[in-house]
C-alpha cells in the first residue's frame, strides 16, 4: 500500500490550530495529513536537507477530483502569505516524487495532472483577515481579478457573492495566480464558506 493511503486522519485533526488550541472544523472526513507525509519524506528521502520543505495540511482524493487543503486560523500577513505559496510548491513537488496513483489509476506526477484534476482550498479566519487588512499579494490579486473595492466585511462578502453568481470566484491572498496554472480551481474560504461549498457537498 502507498504511504499516502496508509497515512490517514480526519479533516478535523488537520485543521487544528496549535497556537490557540482549537479545531477550525469538526469534520470526520477521512484525509491524508500531508504534514506527516512531508516528515516521512524528509526522513526517508532527504534527511540532510536544510531548510526543510513546507507542506499543506491535508490531501483529499475524491472519486472525480482531488484537493490540497490548508487551514490558517491566525493572521495572514505578508510573510505568512509568502509561506502559503512555498507550501503549495513544496507539497506538489513532494507529491510528484512519491508517484501516487489516484482512484482511477492515473499517476499524479506533473502539473498537467493537477491542472486538470486538483483543486486548492485555503480556509482562513474571516474576522482576523478583516482586522489585518489585505496583504500585498491580495492587493495584486485583486488587481488581476479586476476587482475594486473598499476593505470591509460587507463589501468583501458582496463581491464574493456577485462573482460566484457570475461563475467567478473572488480569490484572496494572490492565490488566483495558481488557477489554471498548478490547479484546476483555487478557493479561499472562510470556515462558514468551507462548510457550505465543500463539506456539504463532500461528506
Q: What pLDDT is recorded for position 150?
A: 47
Residues 26/122, Cβ–Cβ less than 8 Å: no
Q: What pLDDT is recorded for position 170?
A: 82
pTM: 0.89
Q: What pLDDT is recorded for position 90?
A: 98
Q: What pLDDT is recorded for position 43?
A: 97
Query: Could you tell me which residues are beta bridge partners of residue 69?
Result: 58, 121
Q: What pLDDT is recorded for position 165?
A: 47
Q: What pLDDT is recorded for position 166?
A: 43
Q: What pLDDT is recorded for position 196?
A: 94
Q: Which residues of the chain have pLDDT under 50?
A: 148-152, 163, 165-166
Q: What pLDDT is recorded for position 161?
A: 55
Sheet holding 58-61, edge to edge: 9-10, 30-33, 58-61, 66-72, 118-124, 185-190
Q: What pLDDT is recorded for position 146?
A: 73
For residue 47, CA distances in Å to 39, 50, 79, 92, 117 come to 10, 9, 26, 19, 31
Q: What pLDDT is recorded for position 151?
A: 47
Contacts of 39 (CB under 8 A, 6+ apart): none
Query: Could you tell me which residues are beta bridge partners of residue 202?
Result: none
DSSP state of 102: -
Residues 84/122, Cβ–Cβ less than 8 Å: yes
Residues 119/62, Cβ–Cβ less than 8 Å: no
9-10/30-33 β-pairing: antiparallel
Q: Look at residue 136 and give its three-state secondary structure.
A: helix
Amino acid at each position: 500500500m502507498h504511504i499516502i493511503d496508509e497515512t490517514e486522519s480526519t479533516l478535523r485533526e488537520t485543521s487544528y490550530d496549535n497556537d490557540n488550541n482549537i479545531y477550525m472544523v469538526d469534520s470526520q472526513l477521512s484525509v491524508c495529513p500531508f504534514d506527516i507525509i512531508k516528515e516521512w519524506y524528509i526522513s526517508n528521502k532527504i534527511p540532510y536537507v536544510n531548510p526543510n520543505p513546507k507542506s499543506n495540511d491535508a490531501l483529499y482524493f475524491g472519486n472525480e477530483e482531488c484537493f490540497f487543503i490548508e487551514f490558517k486560523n491566525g493572521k495572514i500577513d505578508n510573510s505568512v502569505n509568502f509561506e502559503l505559496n512555498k507550501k503549495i510548491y513544496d507539497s506538489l513537488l513532494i507529491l510528484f516524487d512519491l508517484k501516487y496513483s489516484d482512484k482511477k489509476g492515473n499517476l499524479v506526477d506533473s502539473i498537467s495532472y493537477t491542472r486538470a484534476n486538483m483543486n486548492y482550498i485555503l480556509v482562513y479566519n474571516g474576522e482576523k483577515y478583516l482586522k489585518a487588512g489585505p496583504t500585498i499579494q491580495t492587493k495584486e490579486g485583486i488587481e488581476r481579478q479586476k476587482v475594486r473595492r473598499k476593505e470591509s466585511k460587507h463589501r468583501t462578502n458582496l463581491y464574493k457573492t456577485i462573482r460566484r453568481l457570475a461563475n467567478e470566484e473572488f480569490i484572496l491572498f494572490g492565490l488566483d495566480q495558481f488557477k489554471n496554472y498548478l490547479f484546476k480551481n483555487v478557493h479561499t474560504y472562510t470556515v462558514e464558506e468551507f462548510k457550505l461549498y465543500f463539506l456539504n457537498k463532500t461528506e
